Amino acid sequence: VTEKKWWQSAVVYQIYPKSFQDSNGDGVGDLRGIMERLEYLGKLGIDAIWLSPVCKSPQADNGYDISDYQDIDPMFGSVEDMEALIKEAKKYNIRIIMDLVLNHTSNKHRWFEEAKKSKDNPYHDYYVWRDGEEGVEPNDMKAVFGGSAWEWVPEIKQYYFHQFLPEQPDLNWENPQVRKEIYDMILWWMEKGVGGFRLDVIDQIAKEPDKKITINGPRLHEYFREMSKETFQKGDLITVGEAWGADPERAKLYSNPDGSEFSMVFQFEHIGLDQQEGKDKWDLAPLPFLKLKQIMNRWQTELYNCGWNSLFWNNHDLPRIVSRWGNDKEYRVESAKMLAILLHGMQGTPYIFEGEELGMTNVRYNIEDYRDVEIQNVYKERIAAGYDKEDVMNSIYAKGRDNARTPMQWDDTENAGFTTGTPWIKVNDNYKTINAKSQVDDPDSIFNCYRKLVSFRKEYPVLVDGSFKLLLAEDENIFAYERKNADETLLVVCNFYGNTVKMPLTEETEDMELLISNYKEIEDSSVLRPYEARMYYKK
Ligand code: TEU
């Protein structure tokens, strides 16, 4: 048995700083705004905040294009504000997790400005360059946000490699000097008291474009171990790598209990389920429910005692879960709570994305009201390729990243209490009914369901260390599982859909206590109502 880590019983709350709380009326959320809302987060009971990037950035990709790792973007505040936030959050026992974007920088980063000056500039080799001719790219690799992955720089007659936007040139991790600069920067933030790091697209750093390798390059884990040894292992941090390309075998390396790499990994196997096979996320398909159960089961059982899961339905790149796999019309409250209970009964560190705890929903905007560059690019590309406009918009409604990025809904006043100015992106017009103010003191609210689930993780050790067993694997409606340790048993049973179904686990749950459910009382114990979820416990 390895020693327990603080982050194994922790719950993390993700803040998208642009959209959380504006304190100065410029329409953009900021660090002082977050400080104003710490009391709310304290009430929810979370242990850490993962802040999407707040470093200096031209904002081509909302901060995922960093031009100075050791400065805060003026839009969000200053380094002093960041220090104040770290200090203030500590009073609520909340740690601050920063987002490290290490695969690429902004094209406005000092390193890149130097790098593109000449082939013998000392910074040239910080990035990935190939000789070539204008118009003849080194190969046909594509960027994630559309177009070629190669960008021509006429002054030096070379192409640079970018897996995301042309404004996000890829760093060359093969260069030891690059790695050293990164480690020094991480140590600088650690000294400021940061509680951990989320590592953006970290499975893409060991790219080898000549072999068309982007994810899982041969030197990937070598870099991880070096970085961890030089930085993270010098503190008591939570570290989580974002890895779209991780399978359970690889995730065991990422989250090796010996601490040689990271604390855990964000894997996305469940996230890719509702799209057509071999296509991308915009090509919609219904959720294969049995497969969802299999996948969750596999991750829960395979990492047991030899790795660590992170648990999430949402983040700033994903649509709102209640609109995606719940029902945001007839059963918004019930299905939001069901999805919460289902996930928070599992093993791993749960992540709540801002507004998820209120059951915030997707939006349907006119194309010009979307701010995300990925949405704008896919719209242009697909219309040009002859897709039907309605189909393109339906894909954007279902999967667009701005679904997650609309302002946090605090109350029913103008702009949902997010800003006194003009919000940088439109507020969801359902804010009058869906907002924090109406939920915080209502014991039956989605917020209070989350609050309870967060506290259970501290109260019942089985949630942290219990084994996982999937029940009713072939049932087309019910997601049920059991967690067990030496002296506790926990049983979660959820009706994943909107029909009333027979409750098959009446005997198993007979002598158990009902810890939480999403209906006021059980009238008929032999059925599960639409989206009904129950968590049972026995000691
Ligand atoms: O995202 C990685 C990534 O490839 C996808 O999540 C992408 O955002 C999109 O959903 C693909 O359709 C990370 C960040 O989370 C994202 O916000 C950044 O835009 C991206 O890296 C680049 O830094």
The residues near 191 (Cβ < 8 Å, ≥ 6 apart) are none
Number of helices and strands in the chain (H, E): 16, 20
> CB of 400 within 8 A of CB of 316?
no
> CB of 13 within 8 A of CB of 48?
yes
Nearest to 187 by CA among 229, 126, 241: 229
Q: What is the pLDDT of residues 410-440, one digit of tens each?
A: 999 999 999 999 999 999 999 999 999 999 9
What pLDDT does residue 3 have?
Answer: 74
Q: What is the pLDDT of residues 117-162, one digit of tens each?
A: 999 999 999 999 999 999 999 999 999 999 999 999 999 999 999 9
Taking residues 51-63, what's their average pLDDT?
A: 97
Pocket of ligand 1 (CB under 6 A): 61, 64, 101, 144, 164, 200-201, 244, 281, 316-317, 374
Question: Measuring from atom 3 of ligand 1, which residue has the nearest CA?
Answer: 201
Bridge partners (DSSP) of residue 153 are 158
Pocket of ligand 1, candidates 52, 97, 104, 144: which has the most ligand atoms within 8 Å of its Cβ, to mutate? Answer: 144
What pLDDT does residue 2 have?
Answer: 58
Bridge partners (DSSP) of residue 50 are 14, 97
Tokens of 365: 């905007």
Question: Measuring from atom 8 of ligand 1, which residue has the nearest CA?
Answer: 317
Q: What is the pLDDT of residues 234-262, one digit of tens each?
A: 999 999 999 999 999 999 999 999 999 99
pTM of the entire predicted model: 0.98
CA 440 / ligand 1 centre spacing (Å) = 32
Active site residue 523: no
Q: What is the pLDDT of residues 349-386, one digit of tens each?
A: 999 999 999 999 999 999 999 999 999 999 999 999 99
Given 65, 203, 242, 328, the catalytic residue:
242
Question: Measuring from atom 18 of ligand 1, which residue has the nearest CA?
Answer: 64
Active site residue 242: yes
What pLDDT does residue 1 have?
Answer: 45
Mean pLDDT score of the chain: 97
What pLDDT does residue 522 have?
Answer: 86
Rounded (10°) angle between helices 389-399 and 373-384? 160
Q: DSSP of 481-503, one letter per residue?
A: EEEE-SS-EEEEEEE-SSS-EE-
Q: DSSP of 191-246, one letter per residue?
A: HTT--EEEETTGGGTT-BGGGTB-TT-TTHHHHHHHHHHHTGGGS--EEEEE-TT-
Tokens of 94: 């909340």
CA 339 / ligand 1 centre spacing (Å) = 24
Q: What is the pLDDT of residues 10-31, one digit of tens each?
A: 999 999 999 999 999 999 999 9
Burial of 292 (0-12, 13-18, 19+ CB in 10 A): middle
Q: Strand, helix or coil at 527? A: strand
**Long-range CB contacts for residues 246-250, cutoff 8 Å, separation at least 24:** 246/203, 248/298, 248/299, 248/302, 248/303, 248/307, 250/216
What is the ipTM, given to two decimal places?
0.96
| Local confidence band at 199 (pLDDT 50, 70, 90 cut-offs) | very high
Q: Structural domains in the chain?
A: 6-102+176-365+406-446 (3.20.20.80), 110-161 (3.90.400.10), 366-405 (no CATH), 464-538 (2.60.40.1180)
Pocket of ligand 1, candidates 317, 324, 395: which has the most ligand atoms within 8 Å of its Cβ, to mutate? Answer: 317
Distances (CA, A) of 312 to 141, 407, 460: 30, 20, 20
